[in-house]
Amino acid sequence: MPGNKGVIYEGPGRVEVRATDYPDFELKDGPGVNPANVGRKLPHAAIIKAIATNICGSDQHMVRGRTTAPQGLVLGHEITGEVAEVGPDVEFVKVGDMVSVPFNISCGRCRNCKEGKTGICENVNPDQPGSAYGYVDMGGWVGGQAEYVLVPYADWNLLKFPDRDQAMEKILDLAMLADIFPTGFHGCVTAGVGPGSTVYIAGAGPVGLAAAASAFLLGAAVVIVGDLNKERLAQARGFGCETADVSEGEPAQHIERILGVPEVDCAVDAVGFEARGHGREAGTEHPATVLNTIMAVTRAGGAVGIPGLYVTGDPGAKDEAARQGSLSIRIGLGWAKSLSFTTGQCPVMRYNRQLMMAILHDRVRIAEAVNATPIPLDQAPRGYEEFDKGAARKYVLDPHGMLAGAA
Ligand SMILES: NC(=O)c1ccc[n+]([C@@H]2O[C@H](COP(=O)([O-])OP(=O)(O)OC[C@H]3O[C@@H](n4cnc5c(N)ncnc54)[C@H](O)[C@@H]3O)[C@@H](O)[C@H]2O)c1
Ligand SMILES: [Zn+2]
Ligand SMILES: [Zn+2]
């Protein structure tokens, strides 16, 4: 049996790479594992050799100490790799298959899975519907920023790439199928983006940039990306976006400068609850700012997509209400404008196959849009630190040294 090594959350601001258990076809007790999941038999699982495993803004919420993530948690939910072993109940997935792993863990058997709502599967997390690898309150499935990771319900969850050599040629693009590309695309689809749309995307992190690339793929006429990070705004301009530096005033002013009216057809929140204020408030957190902004700038009758993460408890929030996840949202404005809202985990499986085809047939260059940057697994702490400081990069960990030359 090979050994294993993973990225471990060691408390606010600290991650370490060290030896971890090689996966087994049974869920063992460990940090963050829900007691009701301990001893769960997983004959339907596959063990994946992780070829590319990305660091996400969602991990940062934990690593910044803004969640109740326990010390010792193995991180990582954006996994792409090769099937190393399959359990006795796996019928169709084969050892050697090259696959993308949707970050949502889902069973394929519950009511929500049958309706395509794989982000809120009822059978994988005893606490609440919805689950993910290596994430707080998500059932305790071991994370995949590691050499090897176990994927339950493998026949259902895994997306197989058609050809190994073709997949290795576009591996950094395909690595974005586990989360941020479908997530950005879902943000745009639920915001109603289509041919000729004008779109405001709050946030130029990897999810915002993936949403912007998705908006173009969906036919948007103008894509305006807002952030206060100048390097990330430059990255967005690099593939044809207009930009709004929100530290220099309200997004509505920028939108009016660009479009002639302070309004867009569709808007996406790719920021979440750690949002900064606008203009002079940009130095401090204002968790409801982006939600209120996207309601204000979207035309009446439009829709807003909210992939940005909001939590039921935030130990680092400024006030008691926000510590419980209650934010001061202008719902009256949203009601008056008849806006539609979509929140929650992106149901990755709804989009990953189509987006894979768009990548393989050169319809989109997602790795370039998000500046995918491979680094060795051992350098994960550096990746976390630079990403936290706002580097305009999507860090892709390379546990087996197979990404050299892919950049
Ligand atoms: N729904 C899902 O399935 C899903 C999946 C992946 C990520 N997410 C969430 O999406 C969000 C973005 O992820 P990411 O990896 O890009 O994170 P990130 O932290 O790298 O990016 C967030 C960006 O927002 C910017 N920002 C802060 N306040 C702003 C404001 N008022 N207006 C505009 N920009 C502002 C920050 O400067 C930063 O560049 C996170 O909350 C993450 O947890 C959700
Ligand atoms: Zn992610
Ligand atoms: Zn299910």
Predicted confidence (pLDDT) per residue in 60-100, tens digit: 999 999 999 999 999 999 999 999 999 999 999 999 999 99
CA of 205 to the centre of ligand 1 (A): 6
CA of 208 to the centre of ligand 3 (A): 28
Residue 54 in contact with ligand 1 by CB distance below 6 A = no
DSSP 69: P
CA of 133 to the centre of ligand 2 (A): 10
Per-residue model confidence (pLDDT) at position 22: 98
pLDDT at residue 2 greater than cutoff 90: no
* CA neighbor of 173 nearest in space, from 138, 205, 213: 213
Residue 345 in contact with ligand 1 by CB distance below 6 A = yes
pLDDT at residue 145 greater than cutoff 80: yes
Rounded-to-integer distance, Cα 148 and Cα 160, Å: 17
Rounded-to-integer distance, Cα 136 and Cα 65, Å: 11
The one-letter amino acid at 330: R
Residues written for the chain: 407
Per-residue model confidence (pLDDT) at position 407: 63
Q: Hey, what CATH topology would domain 5-179+347-398 get?
A: Quinone Oxidoreductase; Chain A, domain 1 (3.90.180)
Ligand nearest, relative to CA of residue 123: 3
Rounded-to-integer distance, Cα 90 and Cα 12, Å: 39
- Let me know if the fold of 5-179+347-398 is the same as that of 180-343: no
Give the domain ranges of the chain.
5-179+347-398, 180-343
pLDDT at residue 281 greater than cutoff 80: yes
Q: Which two tokens stand for residue 407?
A: 């950049």
Rounded-to-integer distance, Cα 250 and Cα 272, Å: 17
Ligand 1, atom 43, residue with closest C-alpha: 58
- Round the CA-based radius of gyration of the chain to a whole number and report it: 20
Q: Quick: pLDDT tens for 345-397.
A: 999 999 999 999 999 999 999 999 999 999 999 999 999 999 999 999 999 99
DSSP 175: G
CA angle 262, 268, 273 (to 5 degrees): 110
Superfamily for domain range 180-343: NAD(P)-binding Rossmann-like Domain (3.40.50.720)
